[in-house]
Amino acid sequence: MKCQFSNKRTIGFFGGCMRVLGIFLVVFGVLAGEKVSVAVPCYEGHVAFLRPLLEAYAEQSRVPDEVVISLSGCAKIEEGVIEEIEAGWPFEVKVVRWDERRTEAENRTAACLNTTGDVVLTNDADDIPHRQRVEVVTYFMERYPHCMCLIHTWTEDLNCVIDPAGVGRFFLRHWNDFYRWEMTHSANIAIRRGVLKRVQWRNLDWGVDRDFLIRCQKVFHKTMVIDAPLIEYRNELSSYNCSDALIRKEAL
């Protein structure tokens, strides 16, 4: 027998209950806290940076729930190195292993797809997070549950203290707004897991991260930019710019 509502008052009451339930679920989610994952794309040349990166996340004001590393070129890495990287942290560390070299886009996508968190922070292996990065990102993602992607600035001074309540912020309306503040970073960002169902990184000759953010904005129209320097961007150590000798020196 098909169920029918007898009148508009009943329908209105039912709709009101559903709205209250929806608000309850959002509030409960904020109070319970988001599960936070960190996704790290890496290749064999940057393996030496993984332990300092994990140490930086172990010392966060809010420790993440897990760190997932997509590591390509594993066939060139000495036996036992990866097992040492995975053990002994106050969060779960998972290494997705690829014997062959993967592209930047493939590594970034693989790391994110293997996370289980509600919020996923990306972090290049050669860049170091501010000790409040997880705390500040989560502060905004919990208070703006409709925000699908969060972009922040970068710094050369990781010693500053950040008050999340005083951080400038805005939602993108046009892509050119991305350049409102200097030192805005396109690679080390935060997204909700739902983003990956519709937008992933693509193999391009140039601008992989910029392309991802532009498509994310076109699909969701819910990208927030905050003026918080949450990453030390070490461009000189990029795989495009540095030598193996410099990598070994900086990792010590």
CATH number, domain with residue 205: 3.90.550.10
What are the φ and ψ backbone dihedral angles of 7, each rounded to 5 degrees? Answer: -160, 175
Report phi then psi at 170, rounded to 5.
-160, 160
* Residue 23 within a domain: no
Mean pLDDT (whole number) for 191-207:
96
Residue 122 host element (H or E): strand 119-122
DSSP codes, 62-88: S--SEEEEEEE-GGGSPTTHHHHHHSS
Q: At residue 92, what is the residue type? A: E
Q: Which domain holds residue 213?
A: 34-251
Rounded-to-integer distance, Cα 204 and Cα 103, Å: 9
Region of poorest pLDDT, from 43-57, 141-155, 206-220, 231-245: 231-245
| Contacts of residue 190, Cβ cutoff 8 Å, sequence gap at least 6 | 119, 120, 121, 122, 137, 141, 149, 150, 152
Per-residue pLDDT, averaged over 2-27, amounts to 46
* pLDDT for res 234: 77
- Per-residue pLDDT averaged across 22-43, rounded? 70
Q: How confident is the model at residue 23 (pLDDT cuts 50, 70, 90)?
A: very low
Q: What is the pLDDT of residue 238?
A: 55
DSSP character string of 136-158: HHHHHHHH-TT--EEEEEEES-T
Q: What average pLDDT does the chain have?
A: 85
**Low-confidence winner among 14-28, 168-182, 233-247 (lowest mean pLDDT):** 14-28
pLDDT at position 4 over 50:
no
Query: pLDDT-based confidence at 24, cuts 50/70/90?
Result: very low
Q: Are strands 149-155 and 190-192 parallel, antiparallel or unpaired?
A: antiparallel
Q: How many domains does the chain have?
A: 1
Domain membership flag for residue 10: no
Share of the chain above pLDDT 90, in %: 71
Q: Which residue has the tokens 């010590």?
A: 252
Query: Is residue 38 one of the residues assigned to a domain?
Result: yes
Question: What's the average model confidence in pLDDT over 22-28?
Answer: 45
The verdict on residue 13 lying in a domain is no
Residue 12 domain-assigned?
no
Residue 17 has a pLDDT of: 53
Task: Record the tokens describing residue 246, joined without a space.
Answer: 């410099």
Which amino acid, one-letter code, is at 251?
A
Q: pLDDT per residue over 149-185, tens digit each?
A: 999 999 888 889 999 999 999 999 987 888 787 788 8
Beta bridge partners, 129, equal: 231
In a domain, 99, yes or no: yes
- 190 in any annotated domain: yes
pTM comes to: 0.82
CA–CA distance, 171 with 121 (Å, rounded to integer) = 18
Residue 8 belongs to a domain: no
